């Protein structure tokens, strides 16, 4: 598998593979977000997920993939700090706003910052059509934010805070996407980065979640919470792994933008499974975000 990935890296076949990996990551990331926002407190769910993927990744890190090169430890430290801040912001945003309010803004703001970061770090340049796609995507984001500020009734008192935290979370999405793309390119074997990343990344949130669980007057049963954590851990492996491999095979900016077709999946999940009221206007704005991602891909 590793040899095949390295063989197609930077080729037309790699571009096609990156396209499908980014779309798969989009769907799975929407599922992941719904899992965190769903039945349990977002902090507890994230702790259960991180614990699960930390435990599952450890055997692969120690016994399966090649050992990281010496320079990778500093990169892992940077990724650890960035992801801890991102996850705390994401959980905070979900405590302030509905899933269909927070998720599109987070996932839609991230690509703009990522495109700029990919230009500075990797020298990637977008065509005029691709910048049009970014503009369409941003129009959908800010249109959705304005619509929510005008018409949303539920959780009205925390809406502004939810939107503000969501934008800040989007900034950290861009930061970790760009930084992790650098990290996965800095090691000979991409699966070395993924295995060690998941093991290291899963160390902090379980402790925060455990402390929060003990402080609750009526804490949820651990069984259902951990079942959700295991399922979320598997989704995280596939979602994050897919987008990281996409950034190794092709352009970071394009992969990041394509992933934001997840907003359409998020709308469907919010309506069907979380029983949130979305409405045709908000669905249209979410679709506009996805349309911007499609224009970016077609304009490349």
* pLDDT tens string 82-133: 999 998 898 888 888 877 678 778 877 777 778 888 888 888 888 888 889 8
Q: What is the pLDDT of residues 140-176, one digit of tens each?
A: 877 877 777 777 666 667 778 888 898 899 889 889 9
Q: Which residues contact 190 (CB under 8 A, 6 or more apart)?
A: 2, 5, 184, 244, 245, 248
CA 161 to chain centre: 20
Estimate to the nearest angstrom the gap between the alpha carbon of 229 and the chain centroid: 16
Question: pLDDT value at position 268?
Answer: 77
At residue 234, the pLDDT reads 95
Q: What pLDDT sits at residue 154?
A: 61
The confidence score (pLDDT) of residue 280 equals 82
Buried b (16+ CB within 10 A) or exposed e, 91-127: bbbbbbbbbbbbbbbbbbbbbbbbbebbeeebebebe
Q: Give the number of residues written for the chain.
A: 300
Q: How high is the pLDDT of residue 208? A: 93
Q: Which two tokens stand for residue 300?
A: 């490349």
Q: Within the chain, which residues score under 50 in pLDDT?
A: none
Q: Are 101 and 154 in contact (CB under 8 A)?
A: no
Tokens for 175, please give them: 């930061």
Residue 156 has what pLDDT? 67
The whole-number pLDDT of residue 282 equals 77
Return d(Cα 284, Cα 42) in angstroms, integer.
Answer: 27
């Amino acid at each position: 598998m590793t040899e095949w990935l390295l063989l197609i890296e930077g080729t037309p076949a790699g571009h096609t593979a990156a396209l499908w990996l980014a779309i798969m990551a989009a769907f799975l990331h929407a599922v992941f977000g719904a899992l965190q926002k769903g039945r349990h407190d977002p902090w507890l769910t994230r702790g259960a997920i991180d614990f699960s993927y930390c435990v599952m990744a450890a055997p692969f890190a120690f016994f399966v993939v090649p050992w990281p090169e010496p320079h990778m430890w500093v990169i892992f430290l940077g990724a650890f700090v960035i992801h801890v801040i991102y996850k705390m912001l994401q959980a905070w945003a979900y405590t302030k706003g509905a899933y269909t309010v927070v998720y599109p803004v987070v996932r839609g703001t991230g690509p703009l910052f990522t495109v700029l970061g990919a230009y500075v770090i990797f020298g990637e340049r977008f065509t005029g059509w691709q910048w049009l796609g970014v503009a369409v995507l941003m129009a959908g984001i800010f249109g959705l934010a304005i619509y929510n500020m005008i018409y949303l009734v539920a959780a009205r008192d925390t809406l502004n805070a939810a939107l503000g935290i969501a934008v800040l979370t989007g900034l950290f999405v861009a930061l970790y996407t760009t930084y992790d793309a650098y990290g996965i390119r800095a090691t000979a074997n991409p699966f070395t980065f993924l295995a060690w990343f998941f093991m290291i990344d899963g160390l902090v949130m379980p402790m925060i979640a455990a402390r929060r669980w003990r402080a609750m007057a009526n804490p949820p049963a651990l069984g259902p919470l951990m079942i959700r954590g295991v399922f979320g851990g598997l989704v995280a492996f596939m979602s994050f792994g897919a987008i990281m491999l996409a950034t190794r095979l092709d352009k970071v900016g394009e992969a990041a933008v394509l992933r934001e077709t997840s907003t359409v999946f998020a709308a469907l999940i919010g309506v069907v499974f979380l029983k949130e009221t979305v409405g045709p206007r908000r669905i249209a704005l979410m679709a506009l975000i996805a349309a911007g991602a499609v224009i970016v891909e077609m304009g490349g």
